[in-house]
Amino acid sequence: MEWVSGNILIRPMKLTKHGPPMEGHKHNFDHTSIVFKGTVHVSAILPNGQVIERDFGEGAPHGKHFLVKADVTHKIIALTDEAEVWCVYAHRTPQGDVVQHFDGWMDAYF
């Protein structure tokens, strides 16, 4: 379940160590992901093909949040049971401009 909170959209995800990962995907615009519980491994493939891999969450060396740039394919894997990650998106127009109010254009979040 996702929801609008003022000028952002929040998409929570729950992952388990033995369950399926959040498969590789990319978005039209940048967004921030916050690890609220547990630890996750993020594998990102940049548009030029470079692969970056980092761990985030409780006790992880790279902190509890990460920025996913537009057009970067990323996969999120739980390293602990019951990991919880919230993806946070700005509302945008089809032209990419950030706006303060949700207008129903869902491609801003995919």
Q: What is the pLDDT of residues 46-105, one digit of tens each?
A: 999 999 999 999 988 889 999 999 999 999 999 999 999 999 999 999 999 999 999 999
pTM summary value: 0.91
How many degrees, rounded to 5, is the angle at CA 21 between CA 19 and CA 22? 135
Beta-carbon contacts of residue 92 (< 8 Å; ≥ 6 apart) = 29, 98, 99, 105, 108
CA distance 85 to 64: 9
What is the number of other CB atoms lying within 10 angstroms of the CB of residue 36? 14
Burial class (CB in 10 A: 0-12, 13-18, 19+), 58: middle
- Residue spans of the domains in the chain: they are 3-100
**Considering only the top CATH level, what class is 3-100?**
mainly beta
Q: Give the residue-averaged pLDDT of 36-54.
A: 97
How many degrees, rounded to 5, is the angle at CA 90 between CA 87 and CA 59? 30
Amino acid at 52: I
Q: CA-CA distances (angstroms) from residue 23 to 19, 20, 43, 80, 84? A: 12, 8, 10, 17, 15
